[in-house]
């Protein structure tokens, strides 16, 4: 009997909160009571759509969980999260059923039961579920109730909501399993408590955002533990998926709000948590408590992990980028080396007549410190060719932004040629401040496959550079050098695109110490001009920045993906119309 054959009752005839059962004869014995449990938490990465590889990895981790009664995996571990419209393919759902059967059959060996996140179909709709596998069979299924439909999430497009879930009965213990978003709603956990839940286990696919660790532990876990009086195991996935990066940082909080187990951020990890029942209350015994990264180390590691998984899973041999001697390209190169290793990073200086000797020297020194391949390809021959080509048409017109953008586009074409010829992915180097106000050239410096700085404001870029020159990221293999990755002058000199003589960014923009708080208010907080004026900013400046923000939307719509760092990244979070006449002033 396949899962699909038995799926219809999931939506049609099973009462709310009851499980879909597919119980083998050898699992038909009644539950046995216990006062001790060993629950393995598998903080794993996933590969969206690679179901066989995901299943193989889950079995391998189960083999490592020696002594566990149950091993728990993150949300949608079998198919990968977020699956987006890929999950609408019937072939994927069918393959998920087959792989779930394979996982279930493996539990006939008497080893740990498995709590697996996957997708099931019933009467033409899809459900995001967890399935309990034990004794060679799928014995219980619970559906996700609350489907997030904001920011990066659009699960209501894909899944149907399940009923309020009942606890899963496992060896005489009632385990409530609120799936990811369910844990943010008190009525879900209240229902589980009312139905007799004794322990809460929440499988998650929770993307990284700055300061999200605090929100998970205090605003969510702490609140649910306080309201229910139940201990909570919060399990999150780790790894990059397109613009998103998942930081792990799973934990167990006891009913007294003590953290019994804190798993590391950014890395896969497996822990065996030991549970005992004391005076009728389940308690997780103390385990290892890792210290999580603080800002800006967490931001830097998010960039490293996001880029590493994007490049590796899309099977690029490495990355190529323009190294200008400026701060953005220096940081992008450092992140790339930390993510991939110096032998997979190719930096190219493309000087023009406006490139300063300082920039030339700084680019060389960056490349030396990082140990990367470094080539120089002057663009003056191409600039001269364009001057000749367009000279007759441009006759009588003053040189202006057009000629500046031609230089940027020549550089983009040059780098794309290297990418096409050698297979390296082109890494763009623009930051969020530039992308916000349109100070980026479409088909020029915006050309490429990925941007690690896309969600980092310029002031954040400065912070990250200072931090990286004094620290080594702890993530993974630690490919990058232990010492500084750029000369100090890269951080201290005034930023410039060097597309005309003596150009500086603050010729046409407010200083970044002023610009970035305005942009943060307009983008992350959705404030009006008047609200920002009330904070002390100049009205004309704010109104001008708001106008630049809106008119650059068409550029951002065509920009490459980049690592999400804050609450309103361009692309998945902030989705504005290109044609837009609204202004707040």
Task: Give the chain's domain count.
Answer: 2
Residues 230, 365 share a domain:
no
The per-residue pLDDT for 434 is 92
Q: Identify the H or E element spanning 53.
A: helix 51-64
d(CA 397, CA 390): 11
Domain final residue pick, 444, 477, 505: 505
* C-alpha R_g of the chain: 27
Per-residue pLDDT band for 213 (boundaries 50, 70, 90) equals confident
Closest residue by Cα to residue 367 from 331, 319, 333 = 333
Residues 402, 322 share a domain:
yes
pTM: 0.89
Per-residue pLDDT, averaged over 471-478, amounts to 77
Q: In this structure, what are the phi and psi dihedrals at residue 62, rounded to the nearest 5 degrees?
A: -60, -40
88 part of a folded domain: yes
Q: How many residues does the chain have?
A: 585
165 part of a folded domain: yes
d(CA 452, CA 435): 13
- The 10s digit of each residue's pLDDT in 51-104 is 999 999 999 999 999 999 999 999 999 999 999 889 999 999 999 999 999 999
d(CA 549, CA 367): 34
The per-residue pLDDT for 31 is 43
Q: What is the CATH number of the domain that holds 378?
A: 3.40.50.620
d(CA 258, CA 277): 16
Per-residue pLDDT band for 277 (boundaries 50, 70, 90) equals very high
- The 10s digit of each residue's pLDDT in 284-323 is 999 999 999 999 999 999 999 999 999 999 999 999 999 9
Start-to-end CA span in the chain (Å): 64
Structural domain for 301, as ranges:
297-505
More confident of the two residues 60 and 501: 60
Residues 336, 269 share a domain:
no
**Mean residue pLDDT across the chain:** 89
Strand partners, 284: 275
Catalytic residues: 75, 144, 180
The per-residue pLDDT for 354 is 86
Residues 303, 273 share a domain:
no
Q: Is the pLDDT of residue 5 over 70?
A: no
d(CA 335, CA 327): 12
Residues 229, 315 share a domain:
no
Per-residue pLDDT, averaged over 244-250, amounts to 95
152 part of a folded domain: yes
The answer to whether 81 touches 116, Cβ cutoff 8 Å, is no
Residues 361, 272 share a domain:
no
Q: Is the pLDDT of residue 569 over 90?
A: no
Q: Is the pLDDT of residue 502 over 80?
A: no
305 part of a folded domain: yes
Residue tagged 């230089």 (tokens):
407
Q: Find the farthest-apart pair of alpha carbons in the chain and give their distance in angstroms, rounded.
A: 91
- The 10s digit of each residue's pLDDT in 431-452 is 999 999 988 888 988 999 999 9
Residues 274, 385 share a domain:
no
What is the per-residue burial (b if ≥16 Cβ within 10 Å, else e) of 217-235?
A: beebbeebbeebebbbbbb
Residues 257, 312 share a domain:
no
The per-residue pLDDT for 503 is 67
Domain final residue pick, 217, 252, 279: 279
d(CA 231, CA 200): 6
Residues 303, 245 share a domain:
no
Residues 419, 484 share a domain:
yes
d(CA 208, CA 80): 16
Q: What is the CATH number of the domain that holds 82?
A: 3.60.110.10
The per-residue pLDDT for 509 is 85
Residues 6+ apart with CB under 8 A from 229: 193, 255
461 part of a folded domain: yes
Residues 420, 320 share a domain:
yes
More confident of the two residues 117 and 577: 117
Closest residue by Cα to residue 238 from 209, 268, 204, 264 = 268
Domain final residue pick, 253, 279, 305: 279
212 part of a folded domain: yes
What is the SS3 assignment for 511-531? CHHHHHHHHHHHHCCCCCHHH
Percentage of the chain beyond pLDDT 70 is 92
Per-residue pLDDT, averaged over 139-160, amounts to 88
560 part of a folded domain: no
Per-residue pLDDT, averaged over 313-336, amounts to 96
- The DSSP secondary-structure symbol of 471 reads -
d(CA 460, CA 29): 59
Residues 402, 263 share a domain:
no
């Amino acid at each position: 009997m396949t899962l699909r054959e038995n799926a219809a009752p999931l939506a049609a005839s099973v009462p709310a909160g009851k499980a879909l059962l597919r119980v083998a004869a050898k699992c038909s014995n009644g539950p046995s009571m216990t006062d001790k449990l060993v629950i393995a938490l598998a903080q794993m990465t996933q590969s969206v759509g690679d179901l066989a590889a995901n299943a193989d990895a889950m079995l391998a981790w189960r083999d490592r969980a020696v002594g566990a009664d149950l091993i728990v995996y993150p949300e949608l571990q079998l198919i990968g999260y977020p699956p987006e419209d890929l999950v609408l393919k019937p072939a994927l759902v069918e393959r998920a059923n087959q792989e779930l059967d394979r996982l279930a059959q493996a539990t006939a060996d008497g080893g740990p039961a498995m709590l697996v996140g996957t997708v099931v179909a019933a009467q033409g709709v899809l459900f995001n579920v967890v399935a309990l596998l034990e004794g060679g069979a799928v014995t219980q299924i619970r559906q996700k109730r609350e489907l997030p439909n904001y920011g990066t999430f659009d699960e209501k497009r894909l899944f149907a909501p399940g009923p309020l879930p009942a606890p899963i009965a496992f060896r005489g213990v009632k385990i409530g399993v609120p799936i990811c978003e369910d844990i943010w709603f008190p009525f879900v956990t209240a229902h589980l408590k009312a139905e007799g839940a004794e322990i809460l286990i929440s499988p998650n696919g929770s993307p990284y955002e700055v300061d999200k660790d605090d929100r998970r532990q205090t605003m969510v876990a702490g609140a649910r533990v306080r309201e229910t009086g139940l201990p909570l195991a919060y399990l999150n996935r780790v790894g990059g998926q397109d613009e998103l990066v998942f930081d792990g940082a799973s934990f167990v909080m006891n009913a007294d709000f003590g953290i019994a187990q804190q798993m590391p951020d950014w890395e896969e990890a497996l822990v065996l948590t030991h549970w005992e029942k004391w005076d009728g209350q389940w308690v997780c015994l103390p385990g290892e408590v890792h210290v999580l990264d603080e800002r800006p180390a967490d931001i830097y590691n998010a960039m490293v992990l996001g880029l590493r998984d994007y490049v590796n899973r899309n099977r690029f041999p490495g990355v190529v980028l323009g190294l200008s001697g400026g701060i953005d390209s220096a940081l992008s190169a450092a992140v790339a080396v930390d993510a991939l290793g110096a032998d997979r990073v190719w930096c190219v200086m493309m000087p023009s007549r406006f490139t300063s000797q300082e920039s030339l020297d700084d680019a060389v020194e960056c490349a030396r410190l990082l140990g990367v391949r470094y080539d120089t390809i002057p663009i003056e021959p191409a600039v001269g060719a364009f001057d000749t080509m367009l000279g007759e048409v441009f006759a009588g017109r003053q040189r202006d932004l057009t000629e500046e953008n031609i230089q940027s586009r020549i550089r983009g074409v040059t780098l794309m040629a290297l990418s096409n010829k050698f297979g390296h992915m082109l890494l763009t180097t623009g930051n969020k401040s530039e992308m916000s106000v349109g100070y980026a050239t479409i088909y020029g410096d915006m050309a490429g496959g990925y941007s690690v700085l896309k969600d980092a404001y310029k002031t954040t870029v400065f912070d990250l550079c200072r931090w990286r020159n004094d620290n080594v990221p702890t993530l993974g293999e630690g490919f990058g050098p232990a010492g500084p990755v750029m000369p100090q002058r890269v951080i201290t000199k005034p930023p410039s695109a060097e597309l005309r003589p003596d150009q500086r960014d603050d010729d046409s923009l407010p200083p970044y110490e002023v610009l970035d708080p305005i942009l943060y208010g307009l983008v992350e907080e959705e404030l009006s001009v008047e609200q920002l004026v009330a904070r002390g900013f100049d009205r004309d400046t704010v109104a001008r920045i708001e106008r630049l923000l809106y008119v650059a939307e068409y550029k951002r719509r065509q920009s490459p993906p980049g690592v999400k760092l804050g609450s309103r990244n361009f692309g998945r979070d902030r989705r504005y119309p290109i044609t837009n006449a609204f202004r707040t002033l």
